[in-house]
Amino acid sequence: MIYPKTVYIHTIGCQMNVYDSERIAGGLMPLGYRQISEPESADLVILNTCAIREKAEQKVFSFLGRMAGLKRKNPELLIGVGGCVAQQEGRKILDRAPYLDVVFGTHAVSRLPALIHQVETTGGRLVDVALSNTIQESPADTISVNPDQISRFVTIMQGCDNYCTYCVVPHVRGREMSRSPDRILSEIKTLAESGIREVTLLGQNVNSYGTKEGLCDFSELLTRVNGIDGLLRIRFTTSHPKDLSDDLITCFNRLDKLCRHIHLPVQSGSTRILSRMNRKYTRDTYLDKIDRLRSACPDIAITTDIIVGFPGETSVDFEKTLSLIRQVSYDGLFAFMYSDRPNAPAARFSEKISEAEKAERLQQVLGLQEILTLEKNQSLIHSVQTVLVEGVSPRMHASEVGHEAVPQWYGRTPGHKIIHFPEPERLSTTGNIGRLKKIHIEKAFSHSLWGRPVSQEE
């Protein structure tokens, strides 16, 4: 196949957007587009957008401003905007950005090639933000893998039915819908045959996979994915704490490829705030799930998301978040300042917290977690960890860590921690990347670990 045209895809937002961008790249190949990594010489630029917080939206318009400059130089350039801001704003984006050619929503990814073809042949400016109540699959033959990729995301369900009061996702991704297990399994088999060693199964609430449609449940799906030859590791995100089942907890011991890591967003440590967020669990029921996870699987890594400054969050509520973080002692967390989303009910809640107070609370959460992460990392010194090797560290030189001048490789533990390790080039000629390697940990930093390989085994 010859690819006479080039597409540059810029992705903002969560892993689901990364997955959709990969589908976009694959879907445009039959039209003759090959993906490039800079927009300057592209024939087509696609921006895949996120609406989760205000900042994500601002990024959209600053990026589009840059693309307008490119279009002035090359009037043939086509520009498309997809993803969650496209879904939310629809035609309004075309009005605001007169140089745009296509706006496509979150359910229109599989229709994008037809939209682009139409613009190429008949011209015009198109908008497709229709939400459907069935999953819009892309043709199976449009899956493409870069030779240097070992890890991929696979969306197993789309949308969300939970309606947390702060969240835009149900409004821009539609109702929760699960993909058929057969499609998911055949996609992962294709990826594994093309050299992918790790998949992360994606959904806003993977624990409710298949329930509405009466498909197999999430534990059953994981069990089937675990049986795929060539695949070494399985991850998933996100589990909603209200639906975390004992059945899933047993999977961490039962399935050899499933990484012992769970991302379990708590959002707040105050039951009062959790109720205003419509999270449908309390501080105590959340902590009970953490106990059950740790008693079944003591070495499991647990990470979370925190929102600071939700409307009505008092300093007492915020102290409860800090105390919960200390009590759970997370391996890592993402913390966000609450941001009003026009479609979400919390935008109309009173008792808004000032930006300065939110920023102060954010710093406290991040500062606390920095200490906890370093302590966790230090506790791993002298242990042996298995990494999936991802590549040679681009920035880390042997001299920086005070060791011999051999290449420094890196990979991740099942708990998603990055480990750097030295290995002479001659030992790596058989292809280190994509292999599991045991590393004896010698040093711990706040964002990574350093150790030496203990054996060459798979």
State the residues that interact with ligand SF4 by CB under 6 A: 160, 162-164, 167, 169-170, 204-205, 240
360 exposure class (CB count in 10 Å sphere: 0-12, 13-18, 19+):
middle
Among 149, 267, 270, 321, binds ligand SAH (CB under 6 A): 267
- 83: Cβ–Cβ under 8 A, 6 or more apart, which residues? 12, 13, 17, 20, 47, 48, 49, 50, 51, 106
| Residue 247 beta carbon to ligand F3S: minimum distance, rounded to whole angstroms | 26
| Residue 50 beta carbon to ligand F3S: minimum distance, rounded to whole angstroms | 3
3-state secondary structure of 190: helix
302-321 footprint of ligand SAH as x/- string (CB under 6 A): ---x-x--------------
52 counts as binding ligand SAH under rule CB under 6 A? yes
Which of ligand SF4, ligand SAH, ligand F3S, none does residue 13 bind to, with CB < 5 to 8 Å depending on kind? ligand F3S
Stated as kind and residue range, the H or E segment containing 443 is strand 436-444
Among 6, 339, 373, 408, binds ligand SAH (CB under 6 A): 339
Cα distances (angstroms) measured from residue 400 to each of 26, 390, 420, 428: 40, 20, 12, 21
- Angle 246-254/218-226 helices, nearest 10 degrees? 10
Closest CA to 279 of 241, 317, 336: 241
**Residue numbers 385-444 binding ligand SAH by CB under 6 A:** none
> Candidates 14-22, 143-151, 348-356, 369-377 — which segment interacts with ligand F3S by CB under 6 A?
14-22
| Residue 119 beta carbon to ligand F3S: minimum distance, rounded to whole angstroms | 24
What is the rounded CA–CA span in Å between residue 64 and residue 67? Answer: 5
| Residue 168 beta carbon to ligand F3S: minimum distance, rounded to whole angstroms | 6
199 exposure class (CB count in 10 Å sphere: 0-12, 13-18, 19+):
buried
338 counts as binding ligand SAH under rule CB under 6 A? yes
Among 16, 249, 362, 449, binds ligand F3S (CB under 6 A): 16
| Residue 81 beta carbon to ligand SF4: minimum distance, rounded to whole angstroms | 21
Which residue, chain included where needed, has tokens 């990024």? Answer: 59
Which of ligand SAH, ligand SF4, ligand F3S, none does residue 24 bind to, with CB < 5 to 8 Å depending on kind? none
Backbone angles phi, psi at 44, to 5 degrees: -140, 135
- Contact, 83 vs 13, CB < 8 A? yes
Chain centroid to Cα 38, Å, comes to 22
173 counts as binding ligand F3S under rule CB under 6 A? yes
| Residue 351 beta carbon to ligand SAH: minimum distance, rounded to whole angstroms | 16
215-254 footprint of ligand SAH as x/- string (CB under 6 A): -----------------------x-x--------------
What is the rounded CA–CA span in Å between residue 81 and residue 48? Answer: 6
* Positions that interact with ligand SAH (CB under 6 A): 52-53, 166-167, 169, 204, 238, 240, 265, 267, 305, 307, 336, 338-339, 341
